[in-house]
Chain A
Amino acid sequence: MDSTEGDLRKALREADWEKMLPNLLAYAARRLRRMGWVNGRDEEPGPMSVEQLVNTAIEHCLDGTRTWDSTSVDLAGFLRGIIRSLASSERKKHVRAKTFAKDDLEPYVAPADSIEDEAVAEEGRREILGAVEECVNDDADLSALYLAILDGHMKREDIAEALGWDVDRVTAARIKLQRRLVRTAPEMFAATRDKRRRVS
């Protein structure tokens, strides 16, 4: 175990898991659900549950497959990064499993959905975007933020530069947008679809 691994193990050992886990679980739940938005379907991107996703991220830290630079990100941020990456892999695996009989087909090839499937997905995506638009219509900051995002500005600093705002204003607007989405259409935007769903 080198010093980086040693640092990570020490941080994992000393972490206040009771405090950190709710944030990681909520992040994993949001991430999984939002991966479904892109497919226009309100479904999990893969068979891995929220709890499994967090546990797998921690196992990757323990088995040394992930290395942590403690000077650039704290432990929670590092774990969120692993969760994010795992959720993306799950989505790819899920799509591939639905598309090909053999799951060892490499490299990954984007699936060709049937015309009907794609039409349903497109309708779902329009519905989600329509709901977001409704949430931002009556607020100038939220509307501006939304348009900047649709223009491809995804990072806080990029959005700030595009809108001529400072980054704190962007953060405040993003928090407001996220909360408003959940409040206005929880069935579509809450991190969890149903109570007690997909817990391993």
Chain B
Amino acid sequence: MTKTRRELEALTEALDDVPTSEEEDRATTAALGVDVAKMAADIRSKIADADKRERERRVEEARRAYAAEIERLERRRIEAKPTRDEQLAVFRSLIARVPPQAVAMHFHKYESASDEELAELIRALRHLLGEDE
């Protein structure tokens, strides 16, 4: 680096943060021909756009988190298959609330039904009672 270059770099840096008056700044801006009011409006518009994008991003983030939570709960519900005893208990509590004349014969053979058939019977009883999920 030449001496003159080094000296001018030093001068540039030393004068970099020299305070200027509002009058000097306004004169420079006028010489530049910048429409400050328009530029300020454009900047505010950019900030508003960025705020809007940020809000949309947050809403989308919340929506995704909610969907993920629903999926997680649903998966847990599916994975948490009730035991046969639990299914039988549910079945008995439901059938006890149904009027006897409304219960078809095959409901009474529940003890010999398979797990899947028992689940189907529970769904049918819930439907009968108007308690569908």
Check if A175 sits within 8 Å of B19, measured CB to CB. Answer: yes
Check if A132 sits within 8 Å of B11, measured CB to CB. Answer: yes
Check if B10 sits within 8 Å of A26, measured CB to CB. Answer: no
Check if B15 sits within 8 Å of A128, measured CB to CB. Answer: no
Spot the interface stretch: B23-31, B84-92, B106-114, B121-129: B23-31
Check if B29 sits within 8 Å of A21, measured CB to CB. Answer: yes
In the complex where A129-B4, A154-B13 touch, is A50 in contact with B44 (Cβ < 8 A)? no
**CB neighbors of A among B1-45 (8 A):** 2, 4-5, 7-20, 22, 24-26, 28-29, 31-34, 36-37, 39-40, 42-44
Check if A62 sits within 8 Å of B12, measured CB to CB. Answer: no
Q: Bin chain B's interface residue count.
A: 35 or more
The interface residues of chain B lying within 8 Å CB-to-CB of A35 are: 12
Chain A 62-100 per-residue mask, 1 if CB under 8 angstroms from chain B, else 0 = 110000000000000000100010000000000000000
The interface residues of chain A lying within 8 Å CB-to-CB of B20 are: 23, 26-27, 178
| Distance in angstroms between the alpha carbons of A31 and B15 in the assembled complex | 10
The interface residues of chain A lying within 8 Å CB-to-CB of B16 are: 31, 34, 84
The interface residues of chain A lying within 8 Å CB-to-CB of B33 are: 195-196, 199
The interface residues of chain B lying within 8 Å CB-to-CB of A177 are: 15, 18
Point out the residue from A1, A59, A80, A196 that lies within 8 Å of B32, measured CB to CB: A196
Q: How far is the CB of A165 from chain B (nearest CB, A)?
A: 14
Q: How far is the CB of B15 from chain A (nearest CB, A)?
A: 6
**Which secondary structure dominates where chain A touches chain B?**
helix
The interface residues of chain B lying within 8 Å CB-to-CB of A142 are: none
Chain A 47-70 per-residue mask, 1 if CB under 8 angstroms from chain B, else 0 = 000110011001100110000000
| Distance in angstroms between the alpha carbons of A72 and B17 in the assembled complex | 15
Check if A125 sits within 8 Å of B15, measured CB to CB. Answer: no
Spot the interface stretch: B46-54, B65-73, B74-82: B46-54
User: Which among B18, B19, B22, B36 has the highest number of chain A CB atoms within 10 Å?
Assistant: B18
In the complex where A129-B4, A132-B11 touch, is A13 in contact with B34 (Cβ < 8 A)? no
- Is A108 in the interface zone, CB < 8 Å from B? no
| Distance in angstroms between the alpha carbons of A191 and B32 in the assembled complex | 9
Give B48's nearest chain A residue, CB to CB.
A13
The interface residues of chain A lying within 8 Å CB-to-CB of B42 are: 55
| Distance in angstroms between the alpha carbons of A62 and B51 in the assembled complex | 9
Which residues does A use to contact B, with CB under 8 Å? 1, 9, 12-13, 17-19, 21-23, 25-27, 29-31, 34-35, 37-38, 40, 50-51, 54-55, 58-59, 62-63, 80, 84, 122, 125-126, 128-129, 132, 149-150, 152-156, 159, 171, 174-175, 177-178, 190-192, 195-199
Besides A9-B54, A55-B42, 9 other A-B contacts (C-beta < 8 A): A13-B47, A18-B37, A21-B39, A26-B29, A29-B32, A54-B39, A62-B46, A122-B4, A149-B11
**Nearest 8 A-B pairs (CB), nearest first?**
A17-B40, A196-B33, A125-B4, A26-B28, A22-B25, A154-B13, A26-B25, A192-B31
